[in-house]
Amino acid sequence: MPLRFLKRLFIGGAPPPLPTRPGVGLTELEKAAHRFADWVSERSGRTIYIGFNALLDVDRELDRQRDDTTPTSELSESLAIDAASFLGVAARRELGGTWEEDPVFGLVLRFPGARGLVKLRSLDLIQKKWELGGALSLKKFFEKLPDRLVAECALPRWHESPEIPASDFAKRMAKLSGVPAAELAARLTQDFRDSWQTRFGRELPLSLNGVRELDKFFRTHYLIAAITEEQMIGAGFFVGEVTRGLFDGEWDFRHAQDATSAALEWPELSYFPVGRIYKMMTTLPEGEPLDEYVRLVPAARKEMKDKQS
């Protein structure tokens, strides 16, 4: 039962309210963290405790476990959750923060104060560690984290756009197509560019160069996310507007259940740029660059035409 509860917390998808009864809920994160500490202690032959000073042992034992399995083996669910709990609990003890349910990323550790925008995705970090092995050092990752938090703290907060309320965005865009849809997409794009200007002090050009800059930004915000869901929506419409400027197309929201399914349409093809941003941030950070996603439109249209003829 605790493992199932933890999985729902970490992975998201309408989790139950966080319980407050002793021994249930977030206290399970502490239990899982201690289980992982015991696992590392047993394998390393020396007692380790929850904290950053144990990360060298954690790196070593996770790498050993990975090397001892077959190349196609996946990280076991139980070990992944225990290890993620260890990292999150250690980070909270060392740096502060609170566990929160993020609508996009599931359970995250949100750091306090002006750094409150920054969210640590510890389960994704463990999964990435398993994928990369020795090429990703958890010890070095957390050594650099305080400087990252200070840098994020020094930036102005994202400008909150009245046009992008993620909670009721589907209602705002419901049944829109043609000129009204185009106008909304243009406003969302400009709001995002204004927000970018506020936060970084420079313009985000409405061009492929701007899309490349955006791509670099998101690739550094996968494990340590410092962006709101509203800004993810705005970024998707920005990518869509660059695409539309290059290859025409029309926005059509009539079949969209939420922002991720807002479509940029051609007669033979539908594109979902907001959905592409969400996918990049949740499941495919090393996928094709965003500018490649844009530039593929003509080839994708031709392929669909050939299939239909």
- Partners of 264 in the β-ladder: 251, 271
Distance CA 100, CA 25 (A): 12
What is the chain's pLDDT, residue by residue, as a tens digit (309 residues)? 344 444 444 544 333 333 333 333 458 889 999 999 999 999 999 999 999 999 999 999 999 999 887 655 678 889 999 999 999 999 999 998 889 888 888 889 998 765 668 899 999 999 999 989 999 999 999 999 998 888 888 888 887 666 555 556 667 777 788 898 899 999 999 999 999 998 999 999 999 999 999 999 999 888 888 888 889 999 999 999 999 999 999 999 988 888 888 999 999 999 999 999 999 988 766 778 999 999 999 998 888 887 876
pTM for the predicted model, two decimal places: 0.84
Write down how long the chain is. 309
Distance CA 147, CA 145 (A): 5
DSSP 8-class letter at 102: E
Q: Are 79 and 6 in contact (CB under 8 A)?
A: no
Q: Are 169 and 234 in contact (CB under 8 A)?
A: no
Q: How far apart are the first and last CA of the chain?
A: 54
CATH number for region 2-154? 1.20.120
73-98 exposure pattern, b = at least 16 Cβ within 10 A, e = fewer: eebeeebbbbbbbbbbbbbbeebebe
- Positive or negative, the Cα torsion across 29, 31, 32, 33? positive
Distance CA 181, CA 250 (A): 8
**Domain residue spans in the chain?**
2-154, 166-308
Of the candidates 202, 197, 176, 188, the one whose C-alpha atom is nearest the C-alpha of residue 232 is 188
CATH class of 166-308: mainly alpha
